[in-house]
Amino acid sequence: MSKVQRQQAIVRLLGSRGVSNQPQLVELLASEGLMVTQATVSRDLEDLGAVKVRVGGGDTVYAIPEYEPERIAPNDQLRRVLGEWVAEVKHSGDLVILRTPPGCAHVVASALDRSGYAGLLGTVAGDDTLLCIADEDLGGRALAANLSELAGISAPPSPQAPASKKRSKDGAGR
């Protein structure tokens, strides 16, 4: 079996079962007649861009992110993804921060990147935090408000400068 065929089998298995570790994947491949080592599986997972995502119950499983630049995410899909995974939206200047549950930021980033959302230049995803960069015309405040509305959460508060403590005549704070 070729590398491409083996990797297609891995993608199929990851899409149909909750595979939480490489030895489990080696066993599943063996049950289909594919004898591979864990090192080969590790390289294949790296080649495929597999990531671990958190699923119900707190377990993590391998997943292959779907990135098809030519495929545009419809607005209802974007609304569903944001509504399901975005917990908080904040902004500063042209930057917007989205908070998600652990292991979910890349899902939201992929949906935003594929949406072609007007005024969004791009995203950078970590584990549970997503940085969105607004273009100068729209700005971070408007992008944050729009994304909050799509996510079904209240609009983020405007950043305010911290209040300075008033001092009494003796210099002690009140």
So where are the chain's domains?
3-63, 75-151
The CATH architecture to which 75-151 belongs is 2-Layer Sandwich (3.30)
Phi, psi of 99 (to 5 degrees): -105, 140
Tell me which fold the domain 3-63 belongs to. Arc Repressor Mutant, subunit A (1.10.10)
pLDDT, tens only, 103-158? 888 889 988 987 888 999 999 999 999 999 999 999 999 999 999 999 999 755 55
**Which DSSP state fits 127?**
S
Strands, DSSP E only, in 32-87? 51-54, 60-63
Q: What pLDDT, on a 0 to 100 scale, did the predictor assign at position 162?
A: 53
Partners of 128 in the β-ladder: none
Token pair 């399901």: residue:
84
**Pick from 85, 69, 87, 65: nearest CA to 77:** 85
pLDDT at 70: 46
Question: pLDDT at position 23, please?
Answer: 96
d(CA 18, CA 79): 26
